[in-house]
Structure 1
């Protein structure tokens, strides 16, 4: 056992250590948010790719607590060593513990979801333990991907397309004081768009479906959903109209072609779920998003819909508890609370007035700062951060 006091040590929005007890309580709080409406009935077999963080974590917990899933979660996390384990390592351990407590048979595999080796491992486990797959949730945000066929490694970039993009952004100085500044990002060049699409588009999602279909592991009526984002006009230049947006467009086109094939193969379907904004380890890296989220919270306060509520709604729609709410492009829309004209007009007004001096009156900075810390298990109510905590938490035993 390795016990020590863990204090938050960060470089901007990136924290160097994670707090196991805080991560555990974050997971427990998310579970409790959906447990009261847990249904009975069958236990569908599900695979969640990207199960340890952000919306993928919410999909895993909501699936377990709401839809009663059993199956496999795949993620890529770092074990405890000289430093603590990653937050996703501790969140996965906590999720597995709760799954066992509530009688859910959920196995978690740690490794590269882009690799054929991981696909082999998942398929073998399905064959041995679960049988055919009813649902697959795809929620992968990664900086790079190696193509298993060619060995070529692609890298994703956050860049606008066509011309430089200049935007306001929110940061905090060494003392924690907020600063609103302007940053400029140069446009995509060379094969930036193709590289980003190869990582963040639908190629790997389609590869997963093809591989599992080839192993005869898709149940009749199989449904798969990839999690996506559109976002506000205030961030469109760097996101939806940028390289990441091109990748998301590819993801949505993949959904349409996959859906046609799955319908013929097993009477199945493929969908994209457009989620609302949240403070995640991925979103805080996007210029302007931190400022946007803080201002949005200032406008909506408790009207912000957290990821666990959005993914509970997604499972309700996928399982037929509630009807599918599709837009004209066939996408599930869980972001409508964020994108109403009245909300966006109010946020835009605050955005235009935001300066270092005024930001404290316009954005909910206390909430935002706490949300960033909670990504790593800090600032979680009920945790004594002065007490030593065991950091050497093992990965959940897949044979348990």
Structure 2
């Protein structure tokens, strides 16, 4: 038996809280259910324009989990999810995603929704085959595939070579403020430019090769429905982060992702299908927390957007993506000139960014609480791992680490 408290090292939380993760997942489900009532959303069974069978690759946290929740609990879809999690035992905690998936499956069952989650390496052909076999066993074809994988490593299924991604600038060293979200301390952090195979390796991991392979194999197995859509998620962000992100190694991978979206889109035309990259809003994630400049920028952004009433977390963002982009009344998907869905429109609103520009130079350790939403940053950072979640008694002793009820 133990009372679990967050263990934090350099903007990384290295443990998780089972009950907190479960409650956060339930809170997101409650939001989707409330939005269904508020918007009057109709499921396919109710005669609405909605997905029926959804595959979510990277389903356990962040945008992937929120997408699965929106699809299931607002739109009534049956779902198959894939993520690679460390499973809990009675005495050892699992990863946050392990508890999120467990909770999602339990709540889906209660709601009468079909739900199957695979704890497998989504980059492997074995995983693809397991998903195909499950689809055929259920007698379904996917009408929506969400690709939301984020991993530092990927093993090529053909060569068995493992590639590692890096977050580095290209051409010159990047220097920026590293804001400690728990203490408000600001250090100056330098990141050396990419060298050797850093760029191609990062593209191998974070680019669109694996997404394209998934769609190809699903199509060949005849488990894609007529009119199927597939989405992968990306980020552009503000000028401050471009040197380390959009113009860096990760940016090269995202450009590859966007290029391959066009290939996938072409391959789906015979099924009347389409492929999109959705550019989403910046949020606190396990990776963004350790990138220089990002934490400070998000702190400033959150404060401004909350004051305007336009701030969104994962579930709010994905619910709006489904309702106002994917499943619109006229059945058309609004896109930009590059065929990308822009759900980062509120973040990159020129008026919002103008306020960000005014605030950013003024952030110091003395003024950080004035210009940054430190409370919001800390909350989001902790919540990813099941801490600081409304409705959870953190003084309660946990007897079994592999249970959530």
TM more than 0.5? yes
- Are the aligned partners of 1:20 and 1:391 in contact in 2 as well (CA < 8 Å)? no
Q: 1:282 aligns with which of 281, 284, 287?
A: 287
- Are the aligned partners of 1:79 and 1:86 in contact in 2 as well (CA < 8 Å)? yes
SS, match of residue 328 in structure 1? coil
Q: 1:313 to 1:303 in 2, by over 3 A?
A: closer
Alignment of 1:1-400 (within 5 A): 3-36=1-34, 37=36, 38-42=41-45, 44-81=52-89, 83-171=92-180, 176-264=182-270, 266-301=271-306, 302-316=309-323, 317-321=325-329, 323-393=332-402
Deviation at 1:321, TM superposition (A): 4.1
Deviation at 1:98, TM superposition (A): 1.2
Deviation at 1:394, TM superposition (A): 6.2
Deviation at 1:293, TM superposition (A): 0.8
Deviation at 1:112, TM superposition (A): 0.4
What is the rounded CA distance, in whole Å, between the counterparts of 2:400 and 2:184 in structure 1?
A: 31
Q: 1:98 to 1:75 in 2, by over 3 A?
A: same
Deviation at 1:344, TM superposition (A): 1.1
- Are the aligned partners of 1:136 and 1:225 in contact in 2 as well (CA < 8 Å)? yes
> Structure 2: where are the runs of 5+ without partners?
46-50
Q: 1:352 to 1:217 in 2, by over 3 A?
A: same
- Are the aligned partners of 1:79 and 1:85 in contact in 2 as well (CA < 8 Å)? yes
Deviation at 1:390, TM superposition (A): 4.3
SS, match of residue 256 in structure 1? helix
Deviation at 1:280, TM superposition (A): 1.5
- Are the aligned partners of 2:178 and 2:291 in contact in 1 as well (CA < 8 Å)? no
Q: 1:389 to 1:321 in 2, by over 3 A?
A: farther
Q: Deviations over 1:224-278 (max 9, x none)?
A: 01111111111111111101011001000000111011103x1111111111111
SS, match of residue 185 in structure 2? strand
Q: 1:101 to 1:289 in 2, by over 3 A?
A: same
Structure 1 vs Structure 2 CA RMSD:
1.6
> Structure 1: where are the runs of 5+ without partners?
396-400
Deviation at 1:110, TM superposition (A): 0.3
What is the rounded CA distance, in whole Å, between the counterparts of 2:42 and 2:158 in structure 1?
A: 42
SS, match of residue 240 in structure 2? coil
Moved more, 54-63 or 32-41: 32-41
What is the rounded CA distance, in whole Å, between the counterparts of 1:104 and 1:292 in structure 2?
A: 39
TM-score normalised according to structure 2 size: 0.93
SS, match of residue 83 in structure 1? coil
- Are the aligned partners of 2:3 and 2:395 in contact in 1 as well (CA < 8 Å)? yes
What is the rounded CA distance, in whole Å, between the counterparts of 1:333 and 1:394 in structure 2?
A: 39
What is the rounded CA distance, in whole Å, between the counterparts of 1:315 and 1:204 in structure 2?
A: 24
SS, match of residue 230 in structure 2? strand
What is the rounded CA distance, in whole Å, between the counterparts of 2:7 and 2:154 in structure 1?
A: 29
Alignment: residue pair count: 389
Q: Deviations over 1:156-185 (max 9, x none)?
A: 00001111111122015xxx4311222111
Paired position in structure 1 for 2:48:
none
- Are the aligned partners of 1:71 and 1:130 in contact in 2 as well (CA < 8 Å)? no
TM-score normalised according to structure 1 size: 0.94
Paired position in structure 2 for 1:398:
none
